[in-house]
Structures are given as C-alpha cells and as structure tokens.
Structure 1
Amino acid sequence: MTHPHRTTSDRGVRARFLLAAAAWTVLVAAVLLAVPLAFPGRLPDPLAGHWGPSGRPDRSMPLSALTLAALVWVVVVGGCIVGLARVRGEIRRVTRTWYAAGLGWLGGFLIGLQAVTVAANLDRDDWTRAASLNWQVAVVVAGAFVLGALGWLAGRLGPDDAPREEEAPGPLIDLDPRKRPVWVSTATAPWAVAVGVAAFAAALSFAAAALWGLAPAGWSTVLPLAVVGVISLAVSSVSVRIASEGLTMSFGPLRWPSRTIRLDRIERAWMERRSPLQVGGWGIRGLPGMATIMIRGGECLVLRDPSGGQLAISVDDAETGAALLNALAARKTA
C-alpha cells in the first residue's frame, strides 16, 4: 500500500538504495577482476584453491576461477537488483536492511577469500608450494560480518513504507447478522508442484532401481529426494478460510498442517502487494513479528495483531478477505 502523503524525499529512498546497491555490485566486481590481473606471471596455473585442516593446500583450481567469481557475483547479485527494481512502490525498510546486509557480507567474503588465495599463491612456482592458511580465514569471515553489519545499518536509513493505522484503515463490509459468513481462497505455486512431483518420481525410480539391483547405491539418494518432494508440495499452495471463529490457513494438497488465528488476535487486516524479492524468496519468510507466507507474488492478506506484529499470506482476492475479517472483528467487539 502506498502512503497517501509520501514526500519527494521519501520516494527518493528507493532510487538511492538501488543506486548504492548497483555501485557496490560494480565495485566488488571490479576488485575481483583487478586483483588477479594486477600480478601477471606471478601466480601459478593451476593455483592452490583449498586448504586442509592442517593449513596446507590440498586441492588446486585453474587460475581463471579467480575471475569467474566476478561473473557469478554480477549475474546473481545484478539479477536480484534488477528484479527488485521492477517491483512497484517503495522498498520496505526490512527488505532494504536484509539486502544491504547480504550484499555487504557476500561482497566482503568474496574479496577477502580472493585476497588470501592470491597472497598464498603469489610468486610460487607450483600450487603445492602455496603458503599455509590458518588465522587468515578467521579474518576473512570477521571482515565479511563487519561489512554485513555496515550494510544492515545503511539499509535502515530513510523512512519505512509501512502503512499507518490512522491513515490506512483496513477495508470493511456490511454483514447480515442473520447469516454466518465464510470466505475461502487459495494460492498455488505451479513450480513447487512440479518440483515436488519430479522429486517423488525420481525417488521412486532410484528405489526401484535399487530393489532390482540395477543401482545398489540408489538408496542413498531416495531419502533426500523424498524430503525435497515433501517440502516442495508442502509449500506449493496455501488455503485460507475466514469465518466467525477466525482465520484458518492450511498448506499443501492435503491441507495439512493448518493453523487458526482467533479474531481476538487480529487487530486489523488489509491487502498489500508483495513479491518474493521483497521478502527474500518463497515459503515462510521474515522474522517473528514480521513474517510472510509467500506462495506467489502479488496480492497478500496482511494481518496485524494487537502487539503490532504482522503476518502476510499470499492469497487471491485478499481485499475481500481483509474486509470480512475487519467486519467480523468489529462485530465481535461491538
């Protein structure tokens, strides 16, 4: 929901955040490309790419892998930023903080990891002669967390886009006191259904092959594939039912598990459009007090409890559900 009195400076938070994220992405990519190129002829090929518990190198990788990290960084992080830029409306503070923290941590970790790798291999004629790594790894991890914390603080700058209670009241409809209103709606993620079915089919195939002796080692893959299938189908759909007792949400094709939220635990409800990029992906996202059940992007039914916590559920026709919830809550307290 867009704040009706949004100022020009408030709207500029989105542009500044996206610009800063893009600049950080370019800076990290430039460093990842420049560091190995700054030492022509001084690094072995292949070079040491993994160190064992003793601190000595035990595995190698091609020299080109150093620059490949920059490509992966640009593709993954750049794609996320482009997707976030396509989301309409302001970028919520919780989204900005998590994205900025993730960008800071991952960028710092990649740069630190490349720096210690280059330093250990510099001027060595063979990767087996690379320097040992011990305390340097702890420094890399600590530095990444410091940059992540700075990103978190930077993401919190600027106002939030949360609708205010007094300026964005939830919708309301008239109820016939002689009738018992019920509203039911669902949302489905076809991709999750496809992944679940494919995982179960693969698990059955490996189990059959193991039983017939065609692939004795197939049993080791059956359980992981079955777990993937169960999780995928469990988050493939959500069904919401609103009646006089409150809101009941059920998951998956079997409508299990389910949870009921009583009317006295709902202070207000409204419809808000959210995308997976805004909340950090699909499934149950967020933190206690600010969670989203993201099955598909678009309409979400948002509930606010008396303590100020919010729960958003991606479901079709969310505005009607919100109006009925508000009307039932009002009738119960009247």
Structure 2
Amino acid sequence: MTEQTTGGPGGGVLARAVLAGAGLPIAIGAVGVALVLSWRDDLPARVASHWGIDGTADGFSSVSAVAWLIGGFAAGFAVLGLALVLAVRADATITRVVAATTAGTTAFVTALVVLLTERQRGLGDATGVELPGAVLAGALAAGVVVAVLAAVLVPRWSPGARPLGPLPPGATTAPHLDVGAGERVVWTRSAATGGVPAVVLIADVGVTAAIGIVGRQWWVLGLSVVLALLAAAMFSITVTVDERGLRVRGRFGRPRLHTSLDRIARASTVTVRPVRDFGGWGYRVSAVGPLRGARGYVLRGGEALLVERTDGARTVVTVDDAVTAAALLNALLERRFGGV
C-alpha cells in the first residue's frame, strides 16, 4: 500500500520520485552491463544484436558495444525520468506514471538484451541464433513488474487548496453566461485527431500489420491490433460540462477524466500548439512553456478549454467551442459557490 502525504511533494517525497523515475533505470542498466561484461569469455567475438522480421539474426556487435547499448539506454531514460519528474512534480498521478514508464521501459529493454545475449553463451558463432517468443514474454514481464514497483515507490500526496493567481500567459477569460437558479444546462462536444497526426497513426498501424503478415510474426500483427484500439480510444473523445463538472471520455469509455465542480477554481480558454507546448498529440503533459505542468487531451492545435483546479493543477482539452464550455463552468461555479 502506498502512503499519502499532504501539502505538496516535500524533499523526502520528491527524493523517492526521483529514485523511482531516474534511480531505478540507472541501477537496472548497471546490472545489465555487469552481467554482459561478466560473460565476455563465454560469448562469440561478435554477438547477435539485431533480428529481422523472420526472427533470424541479421546484425552483430562486439560484447563491449552491447554493454554500451544497455548503459546508454538506461542513462538516457534516467535523464528523461529526472527531467519529467521535476517538471510534473505538482501532480502525484502523473509523477507515478512517469516513474513507471521510464523504469519499466528500461527494465524491458535491458532484460531483452541480457536474455538474448545469455542465449549465446558457449557458442562460437552467433549466426544461427533466433529470436524466441519466450524471451520477449520474459522481458515484457520484467518491464511490467518494475513499472509497478516504480509506481509503488512514489507516494501519493494531496497538494491542498491554493490561492487563485493570474491567468497563464495566452489564456483568455471566458465571457459571462447567465444560468438560472433552477435551470439545468449541459454542454457536450466530440473531438478527434485529424490531419497529419491521424495519417501518421494510420500509417504506423498499417506498417506494423504488414510487417507481421509478411514476416509471419503473428505477435507483431497482434501488436498492430492493440495499437489500433489504443489509437481509437485515445484520439477520439467526448467532452461534457454540467453540474457534475468536467468529464472527458474516450471512445470506449476509457480513458476517463472527471473533475468535479467543487474541485474547479476557474475555467478559461487558451490557444494550444501541440508540438511546442506539449511535445505532440494525445494525452499529454506540458514540461515547458506557459502551460508547464498542465495535462490533458491535445488532439489538435488551436482553441482549448483550460480548467484550473483548487489544488493548482491545470487540465487542457482541445475542443471546438471551448469558450462556451469555459463560460458554463464559470456560471455553474458562480451559481453554486457565489463567484469564481
């Protein structure tokens, strides 16, 4: 069970988040490097390090190069984990996701390389080494276990209420909207990714499926199906504003985001540039710029709903007619609590 603290991430809490998001990748990478180097005398001079779509080895490297690959990958993800943990530390949930992602990905890649290298011990020539599905499954299991461990290492905390400051640069106050005392009002819109991001998504799914079919790698074909389902769930949403607050749901009901009205301090609109502000499209967290620390659904550039919570966290959703959504939220806040 994870503990929960209040008042924001203190020194001890932040240290544990850094340990999970950056320390674990370093430790995992160090273990992987040590294992590979300890097998140097038992391995071929050139070990198999890359496999084609048919599962046969088509790339070879020295033992030192394999060790450098493990260490470099781990170091890169450790730096990425450190930067992201420090950037999003105001949000406990996102911090846990960052730690789980960096540590779990490092564990998966390290376990995969180490397990494939271990299979080559005692061989004089690595040309015939194949890529077995059991190794992929074992590496994936290791990644999942470490991701869970990293998430558990990061304590939960409740920032508590914060005073409402000025609007972020680029945000615009929503116009006033009158809502009667007994009037029930609901605003809802659907939003989806289009243009270049949609083309890239479709192309990625198609290429992955083609590789699986041509190479008769059915697990790759299965991966393409998973990618298609994830894309459909993550890049098509329905946004609803009513007396319950803000709700965002994916096409299949998940992922889901709900911010109740009593947790909302203010709503406004802001112009979003996906790449510059959030590094891309999808469910994103901003690490730099005026929206630093904000999270939410960025499916396109342009007008977006910006919701500031009472604990200081910010949610961004790119959706048409965001100004009406913001105005309605503010009107509902004013009706229930006497002002924004």
TM-score (ref. length: structure 2): 0.51
**Contact 1:301–1:322 at 8 Å: present in 2 too?**
yes
Matched, 1:126 2:122: no
CA distance in 1 between partners of 2:132 and 2:158 (Å): 43
Q: Provide the residue aligned with 1:49 in structure 2.
A: 49
DSSP 3-state at the match of 1:128? coil
Q: Structure 1 counterpart of 2:73, which letter?
A: V
Q: 1:196 to 1:48 in 2, by over 3 A?
A: same
Q: Structure 2 counterpart of 1:138, which letter?
A: A
Q: What's the offset of the Cα at 1:292? A: 0.6
Deviations along 1:228-281, whole A, 9 cap, x unmatched?
Answer: xxx9xxx9xxxxxxxxxxxxxxxxxxxxx99774444532343799xx9xx995
Q: 1:154 to 1:61 in 2, by over 3 A?
A: same
Equivalent positions of 1:85-164 (< 5 A) are 85=86, 87=87, 90-130=89-129, 133-155=132-154, 157-161=155-159, 163-164=160-161
DSSP 3-state at the match of 1:159? strand
Q: 1:70 to 1:291 in 2, by over 3 A?
A: same
DSSP 3-state at the match of 2:39? coil
Q: Provide the residue aligned with 2:18 in structure 1.
A: 18
Structure 2: give runs of 5+ residues left out of the alignment. Answer: 167-172, 179-194, 201-230, 246-260, 285-293
Q: Structure 2 counterpart of 1:301, which letter?
A: L
Q: Provide the residue aligned with 1:226 in structure 2.
A: none
CA distance in 2 between partners of 1:73 and 1:154 (Å): 19
Q: Structure 1 counterpart of 2:12, which letter?
A: G
Q: Provide the residue aligned with 1:74 in structure 2.
A: 75
DSSP 3-state at the match of 2:42? coil
Q: What's the offset of the Cα at 1:115? A: 2.0
Which one has more relative contact order, counting CA pairs under 8 Å at least 6 apart? 2
DSSP 3-state at the match of 1:59? strand
Q: 1:9 to 1:95 in 2, by over 3 A?
A: closer
Structure 1: give runs of 5+ residues left out of the alignment. Answer: 178-194, 201-230, 236-256, 305-309
Q: Structure 1 counterpart of 2:306, which letter?
A: L
**Matched-pair identity in %:** 20
Superposition CA RMSD, Å = 5.3
When the two structures are aligned, how many residues end up with a matched partner?
Answer: 241
Matched, 1:312 2:310: no
Q: 1:61 to 1:258 in 2, by over 3 A?
A: closer
Q: 1:84 to 1:8 in 2, by over 3 A?
A: closer
Q: Structure 1 counterpart of 2:266, which letter?
A: W
